[in-house]
Amino acid sequence: MGFNILFLTHLLNGILMIAMPICLGIYLTHKFQMSWRLWWIGAATFTLSQVGHIPFNMALTSLFQKGILPTPPENWSLIFNAVLLGLSAGLWEECARYATYRWWAKDARTWRKGIMLGAGHGGIEAILLGVLVLIAYFQLTALRNVDLSTLVPPDQVALAQQQISEYWSAPWYASVLGAVERAFTLVAQIAFSILVLQVFLRKQIRWLWIAVLWHTLLDGLIVGIIIPTLGMYAAEIAVGISALLNLGIIFALRTPDEVTTSVTPTPPALSREFKPTEVLETTEKLDNTRYI
């Protein structure tokens, strides 16, 4: 059996997903002369948002399955799910971002600091997914030549074999799409961060809802509609186009950072014709200035 390049590309996919946000963080901290503090705050913001987001989605799914919430007509289910899942992600993540700006990172009021928060938010998401990708890689490497009937129930053996076969027979370029998608998504997370920052720079809450709606549109359209109907390659093209739009948002909202400079006031120039007044020193005048 010859060497399978997928041994390298699947591994590279997971490594890139972890390495890219770290390299971006190193670049930004050097370029902006900042510490990693805001990056880690952004990372914590994403993590905390998922503490609410994931259970919320699970509870919502359970309510629909049990019939407590009415399900839409079948011909509307695709759009309904896209909007619902996109709105859920938008609300939880952007409201968490707003809370961070307001109560935690109160000093983050410049474009550069907004970039750092967004890089941490999207960065930790990419890192966590990269870790999962690597775990799956090592598991599927170990299971490649194993008798699955000794590990899984008999009714699931065929499905498990199919999944393993598809993993190791995918085109090499498909195996690195996860890293490409994470690079594009990092740009989106930074754009969302800059949009929410406008709430505090412009004193207008509507920027929060703009961020929520933009997040809803991207998630709903790509995850909820394009992937189920057109497949992952079309989805990657859509994510790439959205990355260009998000870059436009980032730089369109760029504002000069506040720079505090210390300027020593220049004393007024003395006139060339200035002539000091002659003061006669007397014993009385010396006594009056002794304790000044």
Q: What are the pLDDT digits (tens) for 142-201?
A: 988 888 878 888 888 888 889 999 999 999 999 999 999 999 999 999 999 999 999 999
**Residue 285: pLDDT band with limits 50, 70, 90:** very low
Residue 269 resides in a domain = yes
Residue 54 resides in a domain = yes
Query: Does pLDDT of 63 surpass 50?
Result: yes
Measured between alpha carbons, how far is 36 from 190 in angstroms, rounded to an integer? 16
Reading phi first (left if > 0) and then psi (alpha if -120 to 50, else beta), residue 67 is in: left
Measured between alpha carbons, how far is 105 from 250 in angstroms, rounded to an integer? 19
Lookup result for tokens 């770290």: 22
Q: Which residues contact 271 (CB under 8 A, 6 or more apart)?
A: none
Residue among 204, 233, 39, 251 nearest 126 (CA): 39
**Residue 54: pLDDT band with limits 50, 70, 90:** very high
List, for residues 68-87, the tens digit of each pLDDT value. Answer: 999 888 889 899 999 999 99
Letter string b/e over residues 207-245, b meaning 16 or more CB atoms within 10 A of that residue's CB = bbebbbebbbbbbbbbbbbbbeeeeeeebbebbeebbee
pTM for the complete prediction? 0.85
Residue 210 resides in a domain = yes
Residue 1 resides in a domain = no
Residue 80 resides in a domain = yes
Measured between alpha carbons, how far is 282 from 292 in angstroms, rounded to an integer? 17
Domain containing 12 equals 6-288
Measured between alpha carbons, how far is 183 from 129 in angstroms, rounded to an integer? 12
Please tell me the predicted confidence (pLDDT) of residue 83. 93
Residue among 237, 216, 240 nearest 226 (CA): 237
Measured from the Cβ of residue 187, the count of other Cβ atoms closer than 10 Å reads: 22
Residue 193 resides in a domain = yes
Residue 213 resides in a domain = yes
More confident residue, 48 or 289: 48
Mean pLDDT of 229-240: 94
Structural domains of the chain, count: 1
